[in-house]
Structure 1
Amino acid sequence: MAKAVAMLVALALVVVAATSAGGASAQQCNPTQLAVCAPAVINGSPPTASCCSNLRAQEPCFCQYACNPAYRSYINSPNARRTLTTCGIAIPNC
């Protein structure tokens, strides 16, 4: 269970880091909201509408998440990039 939760959080960060932005406040950045994207980022499943919606809401936080060494490898994963692309979100260049 703990491993699954860690993967979900990591997945959320991957998606977040893969998008864009920068000046988001800590209160707005909540990687747990990206747990809904775990199946897409971890298993390569198609992202759900709520996954894409949550990604868009967390987009300003992606570079912040990408700077975290705990999430870097997830953020750069092919599935995370595919999820962003499928959701119509640009892959960030941080």
Structure 2
Amino acid sequence: MKFTTLACIAVVVIVVMSSLDPTKAVVARRSEEEEKVACNARELKPCVPAAEAGTKPSTECCGKLKEQESCLCGYIKNPSISQYFQSEGAHKVLVACGVHYPTC
């Protein structure tokens, strides 16, 4: 039963994330230059297993989270995916990756 529930959640996450259109966010770089980052929640797919199972996130997951840190408020405000970013599992992944949960 537990596996079926996790499989259903994973399918829902993949379907929702695949329906999102990429947006742009501006990120300040250390050299004070600005770079456009594509806000695409699908890029965070490597983080799903860690968020669901409570395991340590992969290096790829943490890298993607750091790349898209400026996009998190947009994801949190998006009603179709906000529940995934506000979950306890998502908070644990952010902490493990050293990414601060944004105050939007």
Q: Give the TM-score normalised by structure 1.
A: 0.74
CA positional deviation for 1:50: 0.5
Q: Aligned to 1:4, which of 10, 24, 32?
A: 10
Indicate the structure with greater strand content. 2
Show the counterpart of 1:20: none
| Distance change (3 Å), C-alpha of 1:55 and 1:27 | closer
CA-based RMSD of the aligned residues comes to: 2.7
| Distance change (3 Å), C-alpha of 1:57 and 1:46 | same
> Where do 5+ consecutive residues of structure 1 fail to align?
12-22
Q: Which moved more, 1:67-76 or 1:46-55?
A: 67-76
**Whole-angstrom distance in 1 between the partners of 2:70 and 2:103:** 12
> Where do 5+ consecutive residues of structure 2 fail to align?
1-6, 18-23, 27-35
Structure having the higher Rg: 2
CA positional deviation for 1:28: 0.8
Show the counterpart of 1:80: 90
Which structure has more relative contact order (CA 8 Å, sep 6+)? It is 1
Show the counterpart of 1:52: 62
Between the two proteins, what is the percent identity of the paired residues? Answer: 36
Number of residue-to-residue matches in the alignment: 83
Q: Deviations over 1:36-79 (max 9, x none)?
A: 00101122111011100000011111101111111121111111
Show the counterpart of 2:31: none
Indicate the structure with greater helix content. 1
Q: Give the TM-score normalised by structure 2.
A: 0.67
Give, as a single letter, the amino acid of the residue that structure 2 aligns with 1:24: A
CA positional deviation for 1:5: 4.0
